[in-house]
C-alpha cells in the first residue's frame, strides 16, 4: 500500500428538484475503507501507518489506533484529556473561525491571527488566546455572522445529538463493531450527530439557528481552553477498553466529533480493523442535511449552492464535497 496513493474520497450530495423546490436529498459518502488496507499487517506497523493515511486529524487517528491496539492486548485506558489531541482540536476550530468563516463571509482570512494563535496553543498561552477571542475583529465577525442568520441559516428545533460516551459505556450499545456500522452508524436505531454541539448539548435549549449553533459550539470550546475550564468530554477526550481477548476499542473526541477505532488481533497481526469516523455520523443519509435542504426553493441554483456550502461547513466533513442535480 502506498500511503500517498490513497484518495480520501468525498461526500456527494444529490438534489432532486421538482416544481421549483428541492423534494429529495441523497447523501453518499464515497470514501475508501482504509481499515481494509491494514488487515494482515503486523499490528505495530499498521498502527504506525494510521496517522499517515488521514489528511485531517492525524494525531487523533494515530492516538486512537495506539489505544485500540493496547486495549486489544488487554490494557484499558481510562477516560482522559489527551493534550496533543486537544491541541489538534483547537487548531481545527481556529482554522474554521479565522480562515474558513471570513472566506464564507466574503472577507479576507485572518492568517496572521491564525499563526499566532497556533503558537499560543502550543506554548499553553491561554490568556493570549482569550484576548484574541474577545478582540474587536473576531467580535465584529461574530456579530455579522449572527446578523445574517435569518437570511442564510435554518431554524432548528431539536437536533439529534449523540450523547457523551466513553469506551467502556459504548460496549452496552455496540458489543462489537462491523463494516456495516462503520458505513452507517446509529445510536438506538437513529441517525445522530456528533461534534462540538453534541459535546455541549446540555446547553441546547429550544429552537436555534442550526449553522450558527454549530459554529458557536466550536468557539465555546476555544473559550473553555483559553479560560482553563475544559472538562472531560470536550474535544481531546480519549478512552479505550478491551472488548474481549484480542479485541480492543478506542474512542476519541476529535474536532468533528467522536472517532472510534476497533482492532481485532490474530497473534501480532491485524485480523480485522474497524474505523467509525465523525463524518459518517454527521453526513448520514438520515442526518440533518436532508432536513435542512428538503423543501427549499431551487429556482436560483447559485443561491442553493451557497446555502449548501454553508450547511456543509456547519457539519464540517473531513473530505471534499460535490453537488449534483438530478
| pLDDT (tens digit per residue) in 286-310 | 999 999 999 999 999 999 999 999 9
According to the model, what pLDDT value does residue 256 have? 94
Element (H, E) at 303: helix 301-315
Query: What is the structure's pLDDT at 103?
Result: 85
Check residue 7 and give its pLDDT: 63
Per-residue CA distances from 20 to 34, 60, 163 (Å): 40, 43, 38
pLDDT at res. 67? 98
**How many Cβ atoms sit within 10 Å of the Cβ of residue 300?**
11
Closest CA to 43 of 246, 242, 182, 276: 246
Specify the higher pLDDT residue, 77 or 31: 77
Q: What is the total residue count of the chain?
A: 326
What integer is the mean pLDDT of 260-279? 95
| β 10-18/320-325 pair status | parallel
Give how far Cα 25 sits from Cα of 12, 13, 64, 295, Å. 10, 7, 33, 10
In terms of pLDDT, which residue wins out, 309 or 31? Answer: 309
Mean pLDDT is lowest, of 3-12, 184-193, 244-253, for 3-12
As a 3-state breakdown, the chain gives helix, strand, coil percent values, each rounded to 5, of 45, 25, 30
* Element spanning 86, H or E: helix 83-94
Q: What is the band of 257 on the pLDDT scale with cuts at 50, 70, 90?
A: very high
Give all strands (DSSP E) within the chain, no chain letters: 10-18, 21-30, 77-81, 155-156, 208-209, 237-244, 247-254, 257-266, 269-276, 320-325
What are the structural domains, with CATH classification, of the chain? 3-325 (1.10.645.10)
Instruction: Mention every residue, 6+ apart, whose C-beta is less than 8 A from residue 51.
Output: 58, 59, 61, 62, 65
The three-state secondary structure class of 55 is: coil
In this predicted structure, the answer to whether residue 234 has a pLDDT above a threshold of 80 is yes
Beta bridge partners of 325: 15
User: Are 262 and 249 a contacting pair, CB within 8 Å?
Assistant: yes
Amino acid at each position: 500500500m502506498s500511503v500517498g496513493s490513497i484518495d480520501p474520497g468525498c461526500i456527494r450530495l444529490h438534489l432532486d428538484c421538482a416544481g421549483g423546490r428541492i423534494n429529495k436529498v441523497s447523501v453518499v459518502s464515497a470514501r475508501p475503507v482504509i481499515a481494509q488496507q491494514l488487515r494482515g499487517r503486523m499490528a505495530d506497523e499498521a498502527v504506525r501507518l494510521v496517522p499517515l493515511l488521514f489528511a485531517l486529524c492525524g494525531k487523533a487517528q494515530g492516538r486512537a489506533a495506539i489505544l485500540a491496539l493496547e486495549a486489544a492486548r488487554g490494557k484499558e485506558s481510562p477516560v482522559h484529556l489527551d493534550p496533543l489531541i486537544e491541541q489538534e482540536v483547537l487548531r481545527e476550530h481556529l482554522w474554521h473561525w479565522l480562515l474558513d468563516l471570513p472566506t464564507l463571509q466574503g472577507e479576507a482570512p485572518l492568517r496572521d491571527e491564525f499563526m499566532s494563535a497556533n503558537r499560543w496553543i502550543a506554548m499553553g498561552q491561554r490568556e493570549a488566546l482569550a484576548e484574541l477571542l474577545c478582540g474587536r475583529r473576531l467580535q465584529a465577525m461574530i456579530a455579522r455572522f449572527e446578523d445574517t442568520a435569518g437570511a442564510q441559516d435554518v431554524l432548528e428545533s431539536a437536533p439529534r445529538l449523540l450523547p457523551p460516551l466513553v469506551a467502556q459505556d459504548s460496549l452496552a450499545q455496540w458489543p462489537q463493531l462491523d463494516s456495516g456500522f462503520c458505513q452507517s452508524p446509529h445510536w438506538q436505531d437513529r441517525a445522530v450527530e456528533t461534534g462540538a454541539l453534541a459535546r455541549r448539548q446540555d446547553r441546547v435549549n429550544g429552537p436555534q439557528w442550526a449553522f450558527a449553533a454549530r459554529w458557536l459550539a466550536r468557539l465555546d470550546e476555544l473559550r473553555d481552553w483559553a479560560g482553563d475550564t475544559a472538562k472531560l468530554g470536550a474535544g481531546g477526550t480519549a478512552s479505550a477498553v478491551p472488548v474481549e481477548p484480542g479485541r480492543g476499542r478506542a474512542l476519541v473526541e476529535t474536532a468533528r466529533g467522536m472517532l472510534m477505532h476497533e482492532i481485532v488481533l490474530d497473534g501480532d497481526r491485524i485480523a480485522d480493523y474497524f474505523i467509525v469516523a465523525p463524518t459518517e455520523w454527521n453526513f448520514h443519509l438520515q442526518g440533518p442535511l436532508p432536513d435542512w435542504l428538503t423543501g427549499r426553493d431551487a429556482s436560483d441554483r447559485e443561491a442553493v449552492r451557497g446555502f449548501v456550502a454553508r450547511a456543509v461547513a456547519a457539519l464540517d466533513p473531513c473530505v471534499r464535497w460535490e453537488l449534483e442535480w438530478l
